[in-house]
Amino acid sequence: MKKITLDKLSELYIRISQEYDLFVPSDEEGVVSFTPWKDDSNVDFDVLKTNLSPKSFIFPQCETLFNFKSEGKKLSIERLKNDENKFLIFGVRPCDVKAFHLLDNVFLREPMDRLYEEKRNRGTIISMGCIEPEDTCFCNSFNIDPLCAQKGVDVFTLKIKNNIFWKVETQKGRDLTVMLSGLLEEASEDDLKEIELVKESLNSKLEELPYFNIDPQKIDRSLIELFESNVWDEISKSCLGCGSCTYVCPTCHCYDIQDYDGGKGGERFRCWDSCMYSDFTLMAHGNPRTTQKERFRQRFMHKLVYYPNNFNEYACVGCGRCVEKCPVNMNIVKVIRELGGENK
């Protein structure tokens, strides 16, 4: 275990940014999001939920698949050159790291998504544990420990008082740590004791959270029973179909593919899409999901039943962004409760 004092962080950022494109959670006009680090970045490690999840680093909201040229009867296709810069995201929370893993299940399954794979390989993740969970957090409902490194983290850190504690998890993390030698010092016995105390006090904090009792494993009906349940009629009523939940969600992976027509040439791109939208499943001959109830049901059945059937994990990490962002205050916590997923 190593550590760095907060006053040396600027030096750390400078060193990292010599080798990597560095992204940090920074506060711009009251909104905290991962942005490229600059000398005057207002880095904020206290807000847990960045406005959008960091999924856009590996699965951008919009990206070009290839360029094409169509002249007369001729068609040519040209793949873009990959960006080769290594990037590093500092301060990714355990829930968001877990979400990367859930996206890996989809995108890295054969046939592999090459654009995703390429970004995943270029990225280094410094994760940061959460010692002050917020009221809308419920990662513990999905067995995520906010003080432990999730699989895929290169370095795991904890910010306690004046120090950032630094634990190497992978070879990438080791290489980075070597590069930063001189800035990091060994943590002392007293430091380790302090970390233990923080860990102990976290448990009682978690127990006091409003959603602590949420437990999707308590949902015990079959796929067909849940699908046909009349719960959906009532809870989907308020849904506006705005799709905000899917955009802020770190695990939503649905995308659209479209062509941009620039006259003789153009590009094919993909962009985030949402199962909450009415034309998501619209075909020339009809639409299997004609009302918002069916679209609403799809989103939550996917997170809580379909995805787990395929990958043995829930497709929610309890980050709580959708809870904060839904304009009509409908969310996955209410859905889980309605389906019986609660410890009483």
User: Nearer Cβ to other proteins, position 182 or 263?
Assistant: 263
Only one residue has tokens 């270029």, namely 122
- With contact defined as beta carbons under 8 Å apart, do 66 and 78 qualify? yes
Q: Least distance (Å) from other proteins to the CB of residue 217?
A: 17
Q: Which of 106, 131, 187, 198 binds other proteins (CB under 8 A)?
A: 106
Q: How far is the CB of 139 from other proteins (least distance, A)?
A: 23
**Contact pick of 45, 87, 107, 212 for other proteins (by CB under 8 A):** 107
From 309, 312, 329, 344, residue interacting with other proteins (rule: CB under 8 A): 309
Q: Which stretch binds other proteins (CB under 8 A): 50-58, 69-77, 130-138, 200-208?
A: 69-77
Nearer to other proteins, 171 or 309 (CB): 309
Question: For other proteins, how many residues bind (rule: CB under 8 A)?
Answer: 54
57: region left, alpha or beta (phi > 0 left; psi from -120 to 50 alpha) = alpha
Specify the pairing of strand 185-186 against strand 163-168: unpaired
Tokens of 69: 């040229």
Measure the CA–CA gap between 241 and 231, rounded to whole angstroms.
18
Rounded CA separation 43/254 (Å):
31
Taking the complex as a whole, the smallest distance from the CB of residue 65 to other proteins amounts, in Å, to 5
Whichever of 176 and 305 has its CB closer to other proteins, that residue is 305
Of 25, 2, 24, 26, nearest to 13 by C-alpha is 24
What are the two backbone dihedrals, phi and then psi, of residue 234, each rounded to the nearest 5 degrees? -75, -50
With 0-12 CB in 10 A as exposed, 13-18 as middle and 19+ as buried, what is 127? buried
User: Per-residue x/- mask for other proteins, residues 110 to 139, rule CB under 8 A?
Assistant: -xxxxx------------------------
Q: Answer yes or no whether residue 75 interacts with other proteins by CB under 8 A.
A: yes
Candidates 5, 36, 42, 79; binder of other proteins (CB under 8 A) is 79
Residues 205 to 234 in contact with other proteins, rule: CB under 8 A: 223-224, 227-228
Whichever of 171 and 222 has its CB closer to other proteins, that residue is 222
DSSP state of 305: I
The least CB distance from residue 109 to other proteins, in Å, is 7
Please, what is the minimum distance in Å from the beta carbon of residue 229 to other proteins? Answer: 11
Q: Are 59 and 116 in contact (CB under 8 A)?
A: yes
Q: Report the site for other proteins in 229-288 (rule: CB under 8 A).
A: 253-262, 266, 268, 270, 273, 275, 280-285, 288
Cα distances from 253 to residues 95, 99, 271, in angstroms, run 16, 10, 10
Residue placing its CB nearer to other proteins in the complex, 112 or 197: 112
- Number of Cβ atoms within 10 Å of the Cβ of 306: 15
The CA-CA-CA angle for residues 272, 273, 275, to 5°, reads 145
Q: Is 31 in the site for other proteins (CB under 8 A)?
A: no
CB-CB contact of 33 with 51 (8 Å): yes
The answer to whether the beta carbons of residues 309 and 105 sit under 8 Å apart is no
DSSP class of 134: -
Residue 277 in 3-state DSSP? coil
Alpha-carbon Rg for the chain in angstroms? 22
Q: Which of 31, 62, 77, 328 binds other proteins (CB under 8 A)?
A: 77
Q: Which of 18, 40, 73, 189 is close enough to bind other proteins by CB under 8 A?
A: 73
Minimum gap (Å) between residue 57 Cβ and other proteins: 18
Q: Judged by CB under 8 A, which stretch of 75-83, 150-158, 175-183, 318-326 contacts other proteins?
A: 75-83
Select from 331, 149, 325 the least CA-distant residue to 244.
325
* Contacting positions for other proteins (CB under 8 A): 65-66, 68, 70, 73-77, 79, 106-107, 109, 111-115, 223-224, 227-228, 253-262, 266, 268, 270, 273, 275, 280-285, 288-289, 294, 298, 301-302, 305-307, 309-310
